[in-house]
Structure 1
Amino acid sequence: MNSPRTAIPLEQQTVVVTGGARGLGSHLVRAFLGQGARVVVNHLTSAEAAQELAAAHPDRALAVRADVRDADQVAAMVSAAEEHFGTAVTTVVNNALVDFSFNGDERPHADTLTSEHLDRQFSGTVHGALNTVRAALPGMRAGGFGRIVNVGTNLFQNPVVPYHDYTAAKAALLSLTRTLAHDLGADGINVNMVSGGLLRTTDASSATPDEVFDVIASTTPLRRVVTPAEFADAALYFASPWSRAVTGQNLVVDGGLVKN
């Protein structure tokens, strides 16, 4: 029987946050930096925002452009992180959202949804996560420690807005979370998901009317909408030593709207 491995404290971790330059990703970056971690701020089109985040913590943050859909670019990003920080990547947060807008009026409906819509979201969400995991896996295995945190959604449990393509991709990511957890546990690598609902406020939810926030708040036990910083706290938990015996789980952080 394997004995428990020593978990690495947050302040000793090297973390890659995909899509980390803005929106929820920037809150995730700030949360890890606030705990003393070294953080790679991955971006695709938000170079200025990524550089600004990194400049605020020049010794512990590095902005790297990479398209998560491209395995070679992701591998180069992980290599750049290892060279810059002098240590392997210990933690990956798969947050990047590629080519998607939360616009209920313009979303594809059942009669307009195409395989191209699905392929686009699977490419960014599922293939992107697989690319980051594969790039970081050798370093994690060599160190006998790894934390993979995937960003999900409560929409596949409570599809109040039927974003078919986005939700299907996130549901597939949950399946990958659980199968990877089973496959990598013996290597000391924990894989979990944090799923949010509407967050107040990110780039994705900035156009949401106040009355929508109010309606959602009124239906949650906490009577309020979760903030991006509160969501990031849950990601910290899954990366921290406190979760050393937790893997393959999906934690819904939405004020209690959805119950697992």
Structure 2
Amino acid sequence: MLIAEQWVLVTGGARGLGQAITRALAREGAGVVINYHRSDQAAAALAEELGPRAFALQADVTDTAAVQKLFAQAHERTGQAISSVVNNALVSFQFDGDARPQIGDIAWQRFNEQIEGAVKGALNTLQAALPGMRAQGFGRIVNVGTNLFQNPVVPYHDYTAAKAALLSLTRTAANDLGPHGITVNMVSGGLLRSTDASSATPEAVFELIASLTPLRRVTTPAEFADAVLFFLSPWARAVTGQNLIVDGGLVKG
């Protein structure tokens, strides 16, 4: 299925990286359901800007019933099943290495919050999307990961553990869903310039990361978004269970 023929749900799609992914999809002609939790004004403004093939729906992705309702509302608006899901929503988090909790005193609650957001959120959207995808014999799920579990240059323990668990879910789900024509992949970035989550990152860190990459610069949200489009396109029809690292070549493999 061409991107322009799809309705795609982007969780956390109104701000930061999610907004870049939403814009990239709209540019390619996709219909986009912009999910948001609290960013109602940003979501409404983005939907209005992008036109009739974009609209915003509120849901906390960790709330199973709310996600089921979101899918029902989307179907009512479009008359079609959601064909692709981009799991981008991030529980409130700041990439600020100086302020991060250390391993000796970090509370389990922080791990639980990140796991709920990353893993439970993705599971909720996957399960809600599954009936429609099975009926179509087609589905694309892209989970947003991180290069930090290959290269924990800054040890954000809770965030990194949750994204590592999400990679595991990506691969096991890919195995289960492949016979139904549904692929499940991950796109993992490094530090992005800039998103809400990286707004607290000191400029010196951006400069250090840039100096270590073969491209000598920090990846942008728009560049990351283009890699997401690959997995939604026909070019990736035989690719599933993979983790594509988009960080300017900083991490290999």
Please, what TM-score do these two structures have when normalized by structure 1? 0.96
Within a 5 Å distance, the mapping from 1:70-89 to structure 2 comes to 70-89=63-82
After superposition, the CA RMSD in angstroms is: 0.8
Tell me, yes or no, if the aligned pair for 2:94 and 2:199 is still in contact at 8 Å.
no
Flag structure 1 segments of 5+ consecutive residues without an equivalent. Answer: 1-7
- How far off its partner does 1:243 sit? 0.1
Q: 1-side partners of 2:186 and 2:40: how far apart?
A: 27
- How far off its partner does 1:92 sit? 0.3
Tell me, yes or no, if the aligned pair for 2:96 and 2:198 is still in contact at 8 Å.
no
Residues 91-135 of structure 1 show CA distances to partners (whole Å, capped at 9, x for unaligned) of: 000000013222222222111122211111111110000000000
Tell me, yes or no, if the aligned pair for 1:224 and 1:255 is still in contact at 8 Å.
yes
Which residue of structure 2 lines up, in the alignment, with residue 165 of structure 1? 158
- The secondary structure found in structure 1 opposite 2:252 is coil
- How far off its partner does 1:205 sit? 1.4
Tell me, yes or no, if the aligned pair for 1:99 and 1:120 is still in contact at 8 Å.
no
Q: 2-side partners of 1:87 and 1:200: how far apart?
A: 35
- How far off its partner does 1:207 sit? 2.6
Task: Return the match for 1:116 from 106, 109, 124.
Answer: 109
Tell me, yes or no, if the aligned pair for 2:94 and 2:198 is still in contact at 8 Å.
no
Residues 38-86 of structure 1 show CA distances to partners (whole Å, capped at 9, x for unaligned) of: 1011001100000001011231011011000001100111111111011
Tell me, yes or no, if the aligned pair for 2:146 and 2:188 is still in contact at 8 Å.
yes
Check if 1:132 corresponds to 2:125.
Answer: yes
Which residue of structure 2 lines up, in the alignment, with residue 143 of structure 1? 136
Paired amino acid for 2:97: G
Paired amino acid for 1:77: L
- The secondary structure found in structure 2 opposite 1:110 is coil
Which residue of structure 1 lines up, in the alignment, with residue 219 of structure 2? 226
- How far off its partner does 1:13 sit? 0.5
**After TM superposition, which residue ranges in structure 1, 4 or more long, deviate above 6 angstroms?**
none
Task: Return the match for 1:44 from 37, 45, 51.
Answer: 37
Q: 2-side partners of 1:210 and 1:121: how far apart?
A: 25
- The secondary structure found in structure 2 opposite 1:150 is strand
Paired amino acid for 1:228: P
Q: 2-side partners of 1:212 and 1:106: how far apart?
A: 14
Which residue of structure 2 lines up, in the alignment, with residue 192 of structure 1? 185
Give % identity: 64
Q: Count how many residue pairs are aligned between Structure 1 and Structure 2.
A: 253
Residues 204-252 of structure 1 show CA distances to partners (whole Å, capped at 9, x for unaligned) of: 1123232221111111111111110000000000000000000000000
| More divergent stretch after superposition (216-225 vs 169-178) | 216-225
Check if 1:239 corresponds to 2:242.
Answer: no
Which residue of structure 1 lines up, in the alignment, with residue 87 of structure 2? 94
Check if 1:181 corresponds to 2:195.
Answer: no
Q: 2-side partners of 1:71 and 1:165: how far apart?
A: 22
Flag structure 2 segments of 5+ consecutive residues without an equivalent. Answer: none
